[in-house]
Structure 1
Amino acid sequence: MYQSNIYEYLENLTEHQLLICKDDKEAIQIRDIANLLGFESYVLPDIRVSAGEDLRTYDEEIYRLFITLAAYHQSQNKKVLISPYRTLLIPFPKPEYFGKHTIEFGDTLDLAALKDKLYHWGYHFTDITASAGEVSFRGDIIDIFPIDAEQPYRIGLFDEEVETIQHFDEATQKRILPKEGEDELDHVTFPPTFLALDKAQYDSLKSRVAQSNYDTFVKDIDSLGLWHLDELGESALAQFNSVLTSNLAAELDEIYELDAPMIPRESFMLPVVPESKRYRDLEVADPNKLLESHQDKKITILAKNESIVRGSDLASFEGIEFVYQEGIVNLMSADRLILSLNKPVKRKKVKKATIILDELKQGDYVVHENHGIGIFKGIEKRDVLGAVSEFVVIHYQNEDSLLIPVSNLEVIDRFVADSGTLPVLDRLGKTSFKKLKGKVREKLFAIASQIINLSAQRHLKKGIVLKTNLEEHTIFMAKAGFIHTEDQERAIYEMLDDLSSGRMMDRLLSADVGFGKTEVAMNGMYVAVKNGYQAMMIAPTTLLSAQHFKSLKERFKDEEIRVAKLDRFSTAKQKREVLVGLEDGSIDIVVGTHALLGAKFKNLALVVIDEEHKFGVKQKEALKEISIDVHLLSMSATPIPRSLNMAMSQVKTFSEILTPPVERQGVRTFVKSYDEKVIKEAILRELRRGGQVFYVFNSIAAIEDKKKELLDILPTLRIAVLHSKISAKETEDEMMKFEDGEYDLLLSTSIVESGIHMPHANTMIVDGADNFGIADLHQLRGRVGRGSKEGYAYFIVSDKDRLTEQAKRRLLALESHSDLGSGAVLAFHDLEIRGGGNIIGEAQSGHIKQIGYSLYLRMLEDAIKELSGQDKEVSQHVDMKLNVDAYLNEELIEEDRLRLELYRRLSLCETTGEVYEISSEIEDRFGKLDRVTKQFIDVIVMKVLARQQGISKVSSYGENVFIEFIEEGKDRVVLKSPSKDDDDIIATAMGYLK
């Protein structure tokens, strides 16, 4: 497609038109020209979907399609619509079904009618509004997240009258107050998330979808609505006056060969934009030269803003017209010259993780720090001695139950067992759990003291000072070939500060695979070599070391830095050469596996260890020896728990990269019933675009049969089979072959998890997905979509009608959240807990199994604190037994899980400031606090104050309030309250504690 053709065509265009192009990139080029010519341009997203496919996976694009079409129809100005041809294969709604609804300050709402309208307009009713298209009604608060809004809105009501309209932050759920000088919001306008339908239209569409022949996991309007519009829609080509921007015959042939779209091929027999007679496209290397030789023409310069013009060293010529807008257009004719100074725009898109719900669901296993493992049964209200409060109920062996006051929830944790093993319930009143805890504590002290001693040895030594030449370094960073994310930059500069500080660096860098850990490490190596030292990088497998070697060679090729590799594929001669080179200093950087451990260096300054937890015990010892007097950077692909992070901060410094790289795309996720057609289509779809497939099948016994099955479907498929019974060496060789493209499909158990970067494998099929936890599925899905290609994940279930509700919800959450959204936060949380096990090493996993990760980590944290002399009172409990009504009222917060989450967060508060912050958040999210809720907040405040003062128990009986101390021999204090009333008792106790 030539910009010159489009420019001349649009210059003469007098009517509204739909311009059809090949893809996203072309659409942007056409938009730039239309904007320059004064058109309002509306660009539709490139939606590559086959007829009948589940559209839930394409949520974001479908929303953009609807928002853009609605805006186009409403505009009265000179306008064009631009669309990639694939998008036009979807039926388009008729213009009259795009609507808007406005709620203004002071309106009186008919809540029942509003709920009906939102339901028929496709909004999802939830208890927390966190994603576009969701709404929640809570007493006198309505939260709504319109699909065309940057942020959700919170509408506060007084009875049914609108009293306030404000934005809130979907991640923290807190209101955002207007900044100084900004006006309060006086209205909110929202479009439908699907179409503006009334009840009859909605019901009719719903019944058509229910009878659909298309196979999706759930048949509803979200997944199949667009394929069954009937009288509500028609083809885009029938709706608009259309023209092709270039000849698309070849592209259309391919589509109609593979797919049978709903729009007939003949509809695309359309006129094509003619070739330009006046203009030609330009490649611009030096704008000044062009300006000089074409001074006689009318010159237009396109730039985003004045700074770009000032920074571009343009020579000043007479009569240049400057147009300040985005876009790139470079054209010339006999009397015109159009030049752009803009650079292509990089899209930055980072999903925020929503509130982490430590979701305890009924039936989950929990571990109580004194009584061991039980089953969580929910929250119950009990009346004890005339005062009402809420308790968490836990069942142990023989149906014995334990009631825990909600103000003491910090004594329990979710029990996360080692990948899916079922725990054994403990018996109440038996001392076996106490003994087990004692044993684990001894072990933990040994581990903690080892960590601390090692760190002390490093701290005593003086570090090698590595200075950074900032100017040189900025140039090195610019040569990375991509724009660093903020997190990457922060990690790099934190590391450079460590290296120049004169102390020994011991930094842990945690980031998902493909988020750029290696780039951070390479910046450190660069500085080491520039200061005349050597650096080494060591990885647990040959495959990983080969991948790192490739990256390092590529990155350092212009820097006169000599990089070598040492692993089991190196010949004896190569090994000798590398070892000699390291000793005499002729090699600057070496990458390898544990084959490197015996090497002698001339002047080593930096050791980078990738996935340290995967090395064996002996290798770890050798690593400690090597790295005792050099700077150390350890990298891990599993997130590290925040709590452990805090405890270890005395020992290690810490960086995290949470932002995905700019060009990385999400992973489209489909949940499907097992069907050979689906499997065949998924595999072919990937092979057609030159890629490879991961097929996860978690049964070693039946894996060979599965291979035969796949060969029956596609006889020419080249399949590699891997599982844990195959030796490490063979596994690695097969993986190398897969990476080199000798296989099309890797059939394996779930061992294809962390650490491998396979840019060509972008489709993942998980067979029997209902047997995996959400964390495992999210982790597996993260293996694909790593390059700039979009990834596809198919979660296959054997019989969707026999799935439990929970499994269904889990799979749907993954399907609609292809990024780290709320569905994956839970996964992240599980992973985070596991990441803690990694830091400490595998040898302890036996104990972790018995007491669960979270309690294990808490005990480790205490041990590290105690040994490094941080807190004397590591964690001490205060027993609050005041005879007052105190709980979070369910009339205020209806959902059990939300109350539970707040109870849990309140019980973990360490300062009164934190308590009051959560209290104002509750008021913000749920409305004014009532008496019992306020009293519960007071009880938690007293608990925090009591802990700070060494008090073990605060209780009351009648008008007496008793205060007891931890310190032995200290007398208990008895206070007299003016009456037995709740507020008097609370005032008396609070007065003493404050």
Structure 2
Amino acid sequence: MHYLNTQNIFYKNILIKDNLKNSIIFTKDNNIKKNILIQSCLNNHIVEIKTLGDFIDAIKNNLENYIVDYNIFFTKLPNNWEIETKNSITISKNQEIEIDEIIKKLSEFGYNFGDFLEDFSYKKLGDTLHIKNKSLNKTIIISFFGSVVEDIYLENGINSKKLEQITFGNQKVINFYDLNEDFNTEILDLFGEKHIILDNIDILPGVEKLEKIKNKTSFDILKNPNLNQTSLEVKDLFLNNIEDFIKILKGSKKISIYTKNIKNIKNFLEYNNLDALVFETNLNILKSFETPKEIYICDDNLFKIFTKKRLKKSLSQNIDLLLSIKQDDFVVHIDHGVGVFKGIIKKEVGKDIKEYLEIDYLNNDKLFVPITETSRVSKYIGKENPKLTSLSTKEWTKKLEKVSKDVQIVAMELLEIYAKRKLQKGFSFVYNREKMREFEHSFEYVYTDGQINAIDEIMIDMEKDFPMERVLVGDVGFGKTEVAFNAIYNAFLNKKQSILISPLVVLSYEHYQKAIERFSAFPIQIELLTRFQTSSEAKNILKKLKSGDIDLIIGTHRLLSEKIEYKDLGLLIIDEEHKFGVNDKEKIKKLKQNIDLLSMSATPIPRSLNMALSGIKNISILPTPPENRKGVETFVSKFDENIIFQACKKEFDSGGQVFFIHNRVSTIENMEKILQNIFKDKKIIITHGQLNGDELENRILSFKQKKYDILLSSTVIENGIDFPNVNTIIINDAYKFGVSQIHQLRGRVGRKDKLGTCYLLYKGDFLTEDRAKRLQTLVEYSYLGAGFELSMRDLELRGGGDILGLNQSGLTSEVGISVYLKMLEEKMQELKQSLETGKEIEKKQQTLIDLNIPAFLDDNFFENDLDKLEFYKEIETISDLDDLENLINDFTSFNKNIPKESENLFNLLKIKLESPKYNIKHIKREGVLYKIIFEKNIKVEDLKKFLDLDKKVLFIVEDLTSIKSPCRNFNGDNDFLNYLLKIMFFTKKVKIKSINLKKVN
């Protein structure tokens, strides 16, 4: 026997594959799937044994490797005679047996007939019987000659193998725990010479039971003669940057790389003339490690050193990107107003093809926006069905003038708060890179790039000498808690205490359980303080807080009491701040003075957006879900008892529980009777807001502990409590809820890697147009990450209103929230820079390029026009050449044979980003001349700097802001573009032809 107690599950599986053939692994139930996936990644088939039938299939067919729930380790099994006579059928070559007799036995054992073979199914084709067996992972084909078995084949679709015999076990024996208690054969006695592997010795149920089998085996894995001793000297691997990666690759050890970005890694190795074994895998649970002779590098390191940081965008740009535009959506162009987006079209301009966004305006007017200017178009969020703008009047210009005046007033109010905040003094945390990397590496999964960026932003804030005030926004299940844990660990390393506060006891208890598990390998002292602690327990906790013996305290509003003393408090984390009452918020204001504050929210409340724009609060957005996270299927249906029965039965059959949301307390007991009549054998518990706090939370905890099958509840469960066993939610009278509220409720299911199901029920035979639209919105936005957009959509359905928490007199609805946010953000930046530098900042516009050059991305690179538009909007927000180069490299690494049109697009973007260095405002072709127009404030030396770039082409200076060159100097617009690229990016210090420059007044 061997026990594996290393924490690196990838290393364990490599060890098993390379050294312990013919094994049976006993492990925790939640590790079984991970081990199977990793062994599959290593091209090693391993069979999960769940039932007695699985066990029979495996042991009788001499399969090499099995994996079993460790609880079965001491289960008594039937002896060989019991197995062979009652629970299995063995078929041998040349055996005389009727084909129908085998089918009858298979049916008794739980196999089903099917035209398309699935696990534990069969079909008859002439004189052959095809059987699919999950344990063997192959199809068994038995051919007959009359009633005699002629041949037995094992087939996997590529090749086949002949067998002398095959055994099928009884799959109707549900599990080991249903076996007769009189059985007395131990599992070890039936496995013969197999290696018995215990994955984590600490999970075994009692030392006294180990003594019973101690004489049969050795507990020391190092004593196995098949194992190389040095191979067990393993340590986790941390790579900080590409230089570390190259250094390891140039070393003497054997390198194996497991990554999903195999193309990028191979290109990198080839370009740098480096060598390593590279394997493709989509698993995000692999962790890098190093032994004395080998190094295994996985995406936990590669993702961080190769994935480019999220492009630094302003908040309004981030919001804009989160609000995806679809055909027939209302959009707003910053210069032309509100229209309807009709799609992306190609138009012939001269001899070239260009792409445009087509937007319809009032009186059937159309606007075609070049795809290089998509950043000027955003989704309209404001009042429902806004009036379209006329392109032939000055209506839009007048609206912008009104909004501009309003923005000035709002910005001045916010600036005053910003100035006060800058005067506050806080603790400057020291960032311990090595320790923080160790903590990150201990995370079970690979961080999303959103999490990486949020963690980076928080760490930078904590290093500053004034208090952090940041909002962390992410949809349900997008990993906000893990980001917060990074901040807590950073505070711990700086010997500072942290508070994690939630609006509900149940939510606090959940945070406490997660924190205990997450920090189990680190010496952080964690306590929970809620009303459920006894007075003596609470007194002891308060004493330890004061003495500094507690590093992290988790709880509810009780932690806001002024009577609680902390030794050295440094960080306050608030989950769902908007759920706290007015009095609690006042206490939070007092508590957060001079300490760092991190607020977490599934959807940003309007006031938070406003404060973030001003710089008073910073905001981090988690835009993407963790890998393998499934969404929630959403269905709309008339209230129907049969649909309710079928929906719940499916969940109950898989061992799960169900939420049923009924938001009218006065009739909730009647609904209980209806449900109890449908499910007579199921236990139902009711929760709603009119129960006292203790009773409410006791009931929720009872359901969480699986004492009940159905939770019939009002909306009190919409907070971020995790119910991993619930994957179906039914919402009654769904049209009465706000769309973002239903999204929050829907987020209670479909957690981790399971697909959730949501049923939206309505009464009556038909829905009004308004109700139908509300429910249609919920189906439309059922994808992961829709929470942000839904909160904005909810504002639209409710008529906009006071979107930012200040009085804007309805002006946000006139121009849309996106345009308002952009204008407010620009004004705040202008005022802040003026305040800090004492100078007025001149606003620079993007450089315009009007050349007849085909520049677009091929449709084949995208699933649809919406994906294409989002990519265009992404690249249009880039403001840094390095970011653009990174994006181009990423794009080209996944798309071979980039067409010339795409190359042109990227080149145009390069010119647009580089032009502001030379104060270039406009590049265009005008008749037989190419013209370059400069900003009005350009100085003589600035113009000379551009002209100094090259002497081969004669530019004629019209005045200080305009130069021109005849088209005959170039071989078309593309040649002129390439010329600009050459002189801007490959600058040579040369003199120009004699041109008389003089300052123009």
Name the TM-score, length of structure 1 as normaliser: 0.55
Which residue does the alignment assign to 2:700?
A: 738
Q: CA deviation at 1:409?
A: 1.6
1:888 to 850, 856, 860: 856
Distance 1:224 1:405, change over 3 A: farther
Q: Distance in 2 between matches of 1:489 and 1:984?
A: 42
Please state whether the residue corresponding to 1:249 is helix, strand or coil.
Answer: coil
**Matched AA of 1:235:** I
- Tell me the CA shift for residue 369 of structure 1: 1.9
- 2: CA distance, partners of 1:889 / 1:416: 28
CA contact 2:687–2:713 (8 Å) conserved in 1: yes
How far 1:912 sits from its partner (Å)?
A: 5.4
Matched, 1:538 2:504: no
Determine which of 869, 879, 897 is the counterpart of 2:833.
869
Query: 2:784 aligned with 1:824, yes or no?
Result: yes
Tell me, yes or no, if structure 1 residue 612 matches structure 2 residue 577. Answer: yes
Contact preservation (8 Å) 1:366, 1:376:
yes
**Would the aligned equivalents of 2:117 and 2:131 in 1 still touch at CA under 8 Å?**
no
> Do 1:536 and 1:608's aligned partners in 2 also have CA atoms closer than 8 Å?
yes
In structure 2, distance between residues paired with 1:492 and 1:599 = 30
Aligned partner of 2:231 among 307, 328, 331: 307
Give the CA deviation at 1:615. 4.4
Matches within 5 A, 1:374-773: 374-382=339-347, 389-416=354-381, 423=386, 425-428=388-391, 429=393, 430-431=395-396, 433-435=399-401, 437-438=403-404, 441-442=407-408, 445-446=411-412, 448-449=414-415, 452-453=418-419, 455-458=421-424, 461-463=425-427, 483=444, 504-506=467-469, 509=472, 535-545=498-508, 547-548=510-511, 563=527, 565=529, 591-594=554-557, 596-597=559-560, 599-600=562-563, 601=565, 603-606=567-570, 607-615=572-580, 620=585, 622-638=587-603, 676-677=641-642, 679-684=644-649, 686-687=651-652, 691-695=656-660, 709-715=674-680, 734=696, 737-741=699-703, 744-747=709-712, 752-765=717-730
For residue 977 of structure 1, the aligned residue among 966, 969, 979 is 966
The C-alpha deviation readout for 1:415-474, integer Å capped at 9, x for no partner, is 3569xx65554454314631453256236525752663354133xx25277899999x99
1:215-230, aligned counterparts within 5 Å?
Answer: none
* Structure 2 match to 1:364: 329
CA contact (8 A) 1:397 1:427 kept: yes
CA contact (8 A) 2:473 2:602 kept: yes
- Whether the aligned pair in 1 keeps the contact of 2:48 and 2:66 (CA below 8 Å) is no
Q: SS in structure 2 opposite 1:635? A: strand
1:768–1:797 CA contact under 8 A, matched in 2 = yes
Residues 987, 644 of structure 1: CA spacing in aligned structure 2 closer, same or farther, 3 A cutoff? farther
Q: Deviations over 1:86-110 (max 9, x none)?
A: xxxxxxxxxxxxxxxxxxxxxxxxx
Change (3 A) 1:228 1:280: closer
CA contact (8 A) 1:720 1:745 kept: yes
SS of 1:904's equivalent in the other structure is: helix
CA contact (8 A) 1:582 1:599 kept: no
Contact 2:415 2:828 in 1 (8 A): yes
Q: Deviations over 1:511-563 (max 9, x none)?
A: 66667755775676688689886543333445434544666789999989684
Q: Equivalent of 1:234, from 101, 123, 130?
A: 130
SS in 2 for 1:683: helix
Aligned residue for 1:756, secondary structure, equals coil
1:967 is displaced (CA, Å) by 2.4
Equivalent pair of 1:391/1:405 in contact (CA under 8 Å) = yes
1:149 is matched with: none
- Measured after TM superposition, the shift of residue 243 of structure 1 is 4.2
Check conservation: 2:505, 2:697, Cα contact below 8 A.
Answer: no
Rounded to whole Å, the distance in 2 between the matches of 1:229 and 1:251 is: 26
Does the 8 Å contact 2:611/2:617 carry over to 1? Answer: no
- Residues 930-966 of structure 1 show CA distances to partners (whole Å, capped at 9, x for unaligned) of 6666655554444334444444433333113344444
**1:793 aligns to 2:757 (yes or no):** yes
| In 1, Cα distance between equivalents of 2:375 and 2:452 | 37
| Conserved? CA contact 1:448–1:860, under 8 Å | no
Count of residues paired in the alignment: 742
Q: Deviations over 1:670-724 (max 9, x none)?
A: 869777455324434545777532235799999888666534422565656779x
* Letter matched to residue 975 of structure 1: K
- Name whichever of 764-773 and 503-512 sits farther off: 764-773
Cα deviation 1:100-142 (Å, max 9, x = unaligned) = xxxxxxxxxxxxxxxxxxxxxxxxxxxxxxxxxxxxxxxxxxx
Q: Once the two structures are superposed, what CA deviation does each residue of 1:916-939 show, in whole Å capped at 9, x if it has no partner?
A: 666677777676566666655554
Deviations 1:549-606 (A, max 9, x none): 6667899999896846367x89999999999997898988655544554515354522
Alpha-carbon distance between aligned partners in 2 of 1:279 and 1:889, rounded to the nearest angstrom: 57
Paired with 1:646 and 1:303, the residues of 2 have a C-alpha distance of 60
For the residue of structure 1 that corresponds to 2:598, the secondary structure is strand
RMSD in angstroms over aligned alpha carbons? 7.2
Which residue of structure 1 aligns with residue 923 of structure 2? Answer: 954
Q: Tell me how far apart the structure 2 counterparts of residues 519 and 893 of structure 1 sit (CA, whole Å).
A: 34
Look up the match of 1:158: none
The Cα of 1:376 is off from its aligned counterpart by: 0.2
Secondary structure at 1:869's aligned position in 2?
helix
Instruction: Name the counterpart of 2:879.
Output: 910
Instruction: State the SS of the aligned residue for 2:592.
Output: helix
Given the superposition, is the C-alpha separation of residues 450 and 234 from structure 1 closer, same or farther in structure 2, using an over 3 Å criterion? farther
TM-score w.r.t. structure 2 length?
A: 0.55
Shift, 1:412, TM fit: 0.4
Summarize deviations over 1:291-315 as a string: whole Å, max 9, x none.
99989x997356587331689xxxx
Deviation at 1:363, TM superposition (A): 0.8
Shift of 1:734: 3.9
CA distance in structure 2 between the partners assigned to 1:346 and 1:495 by the alignment: 25
Counterpart position of 1:192: none
Against the structure 1 CA distance between its residues 705 and 587, is the aligned structure 2 distance closer, same or farther, given a 3 Å change threshold? Answer: same
Separation (CA, whole Å) in 2 of partners of 1:381 and 1:410: 19
List alignment gaps of at least 5 residues for structure 1. Answer: 4-16, 49-68, 86-213, 215-219, 256-271, 312-344, 815-822
Provide the residue aligned with 2:912 in structure 1. 943
Partner of 2:529, secondary structure, is strand
Task: Letter of the 1:565 partner, please give it.
Answer: L
Contact 2:122/2:130 (8 A) holds in 1 = no
Whole-angstrom distance in 1 between the partners of 2:713 and 2:854: 54
One-letter identity of the residue aligned with 2:845: Q
CA distance in 2, matches of 1:667, 1:862: 36
CA deviation string 1:32-89 (max 9, x = no partner) = 9x99xxx9963467899xxxxxxxxxxxxxxxxxxxx9xx9xxxx996697999xxxx
- 1:314 aligned residue: none
Q: Which residue of 1 aligns with 2:976?
A: 987
Deviations 1:2-48 (Å, cap 9, x if unpaired)? 99xxxxxxxxxxxxx9x99999899899999x99xxx9963467899
Cα distance change on mapping 1:403 and 1:667 into 2, 3 Å: closer
Q: Matched residues in 1 for 2:651 and 2:928: separation?
A: 75
Give the Cα separation in 2 of the matches to 1:229 and 1:83.
29
Task: Please list the CA deviations of residues 832-887 of structure 1 after superposition, one character each: whole Å capped at 9, or x if unmatched.
Answer: 9999x9xx9756897766554544543454344334429945562444444x2534
